[in-house]
Chains A and B, each alone.
Chain A
Amino acid sequence: MTATATSRLSGLPDSPADLRTFLHGLPGVDKVGIEARAAALGTRSVKTTSKAQAIDLAIRMVDLTTLEGADTPGKVRALSAKALRPDPADPTCPPVAAVCVYPAMVPTAAAVLAGSGVHLASVATAFPSGQAPLDVKLADTRDAVAGGADEIDMVISRGAFLAGDYAHVFDEIVAVKEAAGPAHLKVILETGELGTYDNVRRASWLAMLAGADFIKTSTGKVPVAATLPVTLLMLEAVRDFRDRYGRQVGVKPAGGIRTTKDAIKYLVMINETCGDDWLHPDWFRLGASSLLNDLLMQRTKLTTGHYAGPDYFTLD
C-alpha cells in the first residue's frame, strides 16, 4: 500500500494485515433483515407534488449510459444531445447529470457536451472485467481523461478481492485515482459477483478508504445488477464512513433500474438512510438508459394529466 494513499485520511489501516483486520471487523449484515428493510422502504407512497419533485430530481441524477460494442459516433452524439434536452417539447425539463460511454467515444461526447454543465463519464480500467495489467488500466484511464472525461467509472479486480488480496485492490484504486487526476473517480464493485452482503460492505469501505469519490454497484454486464438492498447497504456505508472520517462519498446504483417507480424507491431509501446531504446529483447517480424515457413519460403525465405514447419521447 502506498504512503500517499494512507496519509489521505488519519486513522487508516496502514498495512495489508491491518486492512484485512479492519474490513473483517466491520459489523456483519443480516441478509433477511436488510432485504426486509429495503422492501419496507419500497412501500412508501410518493404522490402528487412529492412525485413531481422526485421525478425531476431523478432526471438530474441520471448517468445516461451507452456501453455497447455497437456504439458509433452517431449513436453517442444522439445520446449526448438527449442528455442536454431530455424532453425537447418541455424546456422546464432539467438535463441529466452525465453521459457515460466507453473511452473511445469520449471525444465524440465531449464535443457535444462541452460547456453544458452535463458531466462526461467514461468507464475505464478494462471495463467490465478489469482483467488486464495495471499499466493498461492506467493508460485507459489517462486516455479517457485526456479525451475530455471528467468522471471515471473504474472496476475493481473482483478476482483479487475474492482471493482476499485486499491490498492489491486498494493499491489499484489508489493508482487509478492518481491517473484520473482531477476527474471524479467512481469505483464499480460489481456487487453481483461479490456473492454476499458482507463482501459488499467490505468492498465499499475498501474503495472509500482508497480514495473513491463514488461507489457504484455494477457494470450492467453481469446478470445481477443494482438491487435495493445492495444500494441500501452502500448508503449505510457512505453514511458511516462520513461519520468516521468526515469525508462524503457518493453512491451510484447502475443496471436494471428501468421505471420511475424504481427510481423513486431509491430516492426514498436515500431520504431515510443518509438524508438530505445525499439527495443531490453530486452525491447520488442512477446509471441507466431506458429509465429516462419512463421518467419523462411520468413527468408529462403529471403535468398534462394523461399518458402520451412512446413515440412522443425521443429515442436515445
Chain B
Amino acid sequence: MFEYAPAPESRSIVDLAPSYGLFIDGEFGEAKDTFKTVNPADEQVLAEVALASPEDVDRAVAAARRAFAGWSALPGSERAKYLFRIARILQERARELAVLESLDNGKPIRESRDVDLPLVAAHFFYYAGWADKLKYAGFGSDPRPLGVAGQVIPWNFPLLMLAWKIAPALATGNTVVLKPAETTPLSALFFADVCRQAELPPGVVNIVTGAGDTGRYLVEHPDVNKVAFTGSTEVGRQIARSVAGTGKRLTLELGGKAANIVFDDAPIDQAVEGIVNGIFFNQGHVCCAGSRLLVQESIAEELLSSLKRRMATLRVGDPLDKNTDIGAINSAAQLARITELSEIGAAEGAERWSPPCELPDRGFWFPPTIFTGVTQAHRIAREEIFGPVLSVLTFRTPAEAVEKANNTPYGLSAGIWSDKGSQILAVADKLRAGVVWANTFNKFDPTSPFGGYKESGYGREGGRHGLEAYLA
C-alpha cells in the first residue's frame, strides 16, 4: 500500500495572541468578559475572545454611524481603492489566514487554502469593481446606501461568509458591525487587522465577538438599517420576527436539504465525485450541501458500489495535513446533533454505512456516512443534519425526481447529473431551488447570485443581485 507520510502545514505562520478584544472604531479594545475558542481537532484552547455586552454593541453601532457620513460620501472609485487594497492584502496573507481558519474551524487546509481564501479575495476584488459603477447596476440612476449594516455570520465558512457580507456592504457605501460565530471568531479578528493594514477609515468595519445574545442585540439595535444573517432557519425566523415592522432591510440565508439528482445517463465517475464533493466538502457543514442523493433506481446499485469504493479513499484526520479530505466537526454541540440524527436514521430503519476509518482520540469527529433505503418519510430525508451524512433515495422517472426534490421545506440548491442537455434544462426549470448545478456541485463564484426559496431564506448574495440588498 502506498501510504502518504504526514504532510502537515506549519502553524507557526499564525501569530495568535492569548486574548482578543473587540474591534470598534478602528481600535482593538481590552477584553473584559471573555470566552474561549478551541481547535475542534484537539480541543486545545486557541485564544480568549471578548464577549460583547449590549453597551459594546451600542458603541460599535455608534462608531459605524459616525463613519457612515464620510464613507458614503466618498466617490465609488475611492471606496474601490480600499476594497482592492483589502483584497490584495488577503491574498498576501492567504497562507496565514488559511491555517488560522483550519485551526479555528477544523476544515482541511486543502479546502481553506484552495477554496475559502481564493474565494474570499475574489469576492473583494469583484465588489471593488462595482463600487464606481453602481449607477449602471440597474437599481436606478442614483442608488443610495442604507446606513449601518448589522451582520451575523455562521461558523462553517467564517472568513468567506464575512467576505460575502462585508464586500458588497462597503462597495455600496454602507458601514458594518459584524458578529462572527461563537466557535469561529478568530479569522474575523484577523480581518480587522487587515482593515487596519489597508488604512480603512475607523468605524467603517467593526467586529463584535460573542454568542447568540450579542447577535440578537445587534440585529434588534434601533440604529441598524440593514440586517444580514446567514445561519440556521430557527434563528432566521426569530430575526424575521424581531425585524418585522421596524423598516430595517433584511436578507436571510438559511438552511437547506438539497437534492442531488443522478439520472441513469449520468457520467458515473464524475457523478460519484460530485456526490462526494456535495456532501463531504467541509465535513458537510454547508447550507447548500447535496445531503439528499436522488438516484434513478435502475442504476442505484452500480452507483452506490462506486460511491462506497470512492468513500473508502477519503482521508479523515488532522485538518492541517495537506492530504486530509475530511477534517473535524466544528463543535461538540454540532457533533451531538449529527450523532443524534444519525441514530434516528438508523432507528427509523435506514441502512447506515461508513468506510473503515480511524478517528483521532481527541477532538470532534464523525466518519463519512451514507444511509441507504431512505424514504421521504424519514427524518434524515427532511431535516438538515449539517454533517458528513448522506441520505440516499431512489426515483423512477424525471417527474418523480422533481417531485421528490421539491418536497422539502427548503430550497437553497440542487444538482442534476445527466449527459443529456435537454433533460438538464427541463429539470432545472422545475426545481424550486436558488442554485441548480448541472454536472457539478458546490461551485461558487462571486459573480453568481446565491440564495434560497422557502425556508432557505430570502434575498440574494453575490453577483449584481447582491448589491440590491445594500442599496435604497
B448 at the interface (CB under 8 A from A): no
B37 to chain A, nearest CB (A): 28
A48, B110: Cα distance in complex, Å:
19
Contact of A53 among B2, B269, B313 (CB under 8 A): B2
| Chain A residues with CB below 8 A from B4, complex form | 44-46, 50
A309 at the interface (CB under 8 A from B): no
Q: Is the interface of B mostly helix, strand, loop or mixed?
A: loop
B323 at the interface (CB under 8 A from A): yes
| Chain B residues with CB below 8 A from A270, complex form | 2
Contact of B5 among A27, A29, A32, A48 (CB under 8 A): A48
A207, B269: Cα distance in complex, Å:
20
For A33, give the chain B residue with the smallest CB separation.
Answer: B270
Provided the pairs A28-B419, A45-B322 are in contact, do residues A34 and B5 lie with their beta carbons within 8 angstroms?
no
> How many residue pairs bridge A and B at CB < 8 Å?
66
A311 at the interface (CB under 8 A from B): no
The 0/1 profile, CB within 8 Å of B marked 1, for residues 39-51 of chain A is: 0000111111111
A149 at the interface (CB under 8 A from B): no
B267 touching A33, Cβ below 8 Å: yes
Provided the pairs A32-B439, A45-B322, A47-B7 are in contact, do residues A276 and B267 lie with their beta carbons within 8 angstroms?
no
For B276, give the chain A residue with the smallest CB separation.
Answer: A37
B1 at the interface (CB under 8 A from A): yes
B2 touching A33, Cβ below 8 Å: no
B90 to chain A, nearest CB (A): 21
B269 touching A27, Cβ below 8 Å: yes
Provided the pairs A43-B110, A44-B323, A271-B2 are in contact, do residues A27 and B439 lie with their beta carbons within 8 angstroms?
no
B2 touching A30, Cβ below 8 Å: no
| Chain B residues with CB below 8 A from A28, complex form | 265-267, 419
Contact of A45 among B269, B313, B323, B419 (CB under 8 A): B323
| Chain A residues with CB below 8 A from B266, complex form | 27-28
Report B1-39 residues with CB < 8 Å from chain A CB.
1-5, 7
A56 to chain B, nearest CB (A): 12
Of A28, A271, A279, chain B has the most CB atoms within 10 Å of the CB of A28
B269 touching A236, Cβ below 8 Å: yes
| Chain B residues with CB below 8 A from A51, complex form | 5
A180 at the interface (CB under 8 A from B): no
A268, B315: Cα distance in complex, Å:
13
Contact of B270 among A37, A267, A271 (CB under 8 A): A37
Contact of A50 among B5, B267, B440 (CB under 8 A): B5
A206, B270: Cα distance in complex, Å:
21
B114 at the interface (CB under 8 A from A): yes
A298 to chain B, nearest CB (A): 15
| Chain B residues with CB below 8 A from A33, complex form | 267, 269-270, 273-274, 439-440
| Chain A residues with CB below 8 A from B267, complex form | 27-30, 33
The 0/1 profile, CB within 8 Å of A marked 1, for residues 94-118 of chain B is: 0000000000000000100010000
A308, B181: Cα distance in complex, Å:
52
Report B315-337 residues with CB < 8 Å from chain A CB.
322-323
**Contact size range, A:** 20 to 34
| Chain A residues with CB below 8 A from B265, complex form | 27-28
A34, B273: Cα distance in complex, Å:
9
A272 at the interface (CB under 8 A from B): yes
A54 at the interface (CB under 8 A from B): yes
A54 touching B440, Cβ below 8 Å: no
The 0/1 profile, CB within 8 Å of B marked 1, for residues 143-160 of chain A is: 000000000000000000
A150, B408: Cα distance in complex, Å:
62
Provided the pairs A32-B440, A45-B323, A272-B313 are in contact, do residues A50 and B269 lie with their beta carbons within 8 angstroms?
no
B308 to chain A, nearest CB (A): 13
Report A243-271 residues with CB < 8 Å from chain B CB.
267-268, 270-271
| Chain B residues with CB below 8 A from A43, complex form | 110, 114, 322
B5 touching A49, Cβ below 8 Å: yes
| Chain B residues with CB below 8 A from A57, complex form | 2
B268 at the interface (CB under 8 A from A): yes
| Chain B residues with CB below 8 A from A54, complex form | 2
| Chain B residues with CB below 8 A from A36, complex form | 273
A118, B7: Cα distance in complex, Å:
34
Report B279-338 residues with CB < 8 Å from chain A CB.
313, 322-323
A53, B1: Cα distance in complex, Å:
10
B439 touching A30, Cβ below 8 Å: yes
Report A1-39 residues with CB < 8 Å from chain B CB.
27-30, 32-34, 36-37
A131, B4: Cα distance in complex, Å:
44
Contact of A29 among B110, B269, B322, B440 (CB under 8 A): B269
A5, B294: Cα distance in complex, Å:
40
A51, B322: Cα distance in complex, Å:
15
A28, B424: Cα distance in complex, Å:
15
B2 touching A34, Cβ below 8 Å: no
B7 touching A45, Cβ below 8 Å: yes
Of A29, A30, A50, A57, chain B has the most CB atoms within 10 Å of the CB of A30
B7 touching A29, Cβ below 8 Å: no
A46 to chain B, nearest CB (A): 6
B17 to chain A, nearest CB (A): 30
B138 to chain A, nearest CB (A): 30
B419 touching A267, Cβ below 8 Å: no
B376 to chain A, nearest CB (A): 28
A34 touching B270, Cβ below 8 Å: yes
A30, B268: Cα distance in complex, Å:
9
For A50, give the chain B residue with the smallest CB separation.
Answer: B5
A34 touching B1, Cβ below 8 Å: no
The 7 listed contacts between A and B (C-beta, < 8 Å) are A29-B267, A30-B419, A33-B269, A37-B270, A43-B322, A51-B5, A267-B2
Closest 10 CB pairs of A and B: A33-B270, A45-B7, A45-B322, A28-B419, A30-B267, A30-B270, A50-B5, A27-B268, A271-B2, A28-B267
Question: Given known contacts A28-B265, A32-B439, A47-B7, what 11 new A-B pairs fall within 8 Å (CB)?
Answer: A28-B266, A36-B273, A37-B273, A43-B110, A45-B322, A50-B2, A50-B4, A50-B5, A57-B2, A267-B2, A276-B1
Interface residues of B (CB under 8 A from A): 1-5, 7, 110, 114, 265-270, 273-274, 313, 322-323, 419, 439-440
Interface residues of A (CB under 8 A from B): 27-30, 32-34, 36-37, 43-51, 53-54, 57, 236, 267-268, 270-272, 276, 279
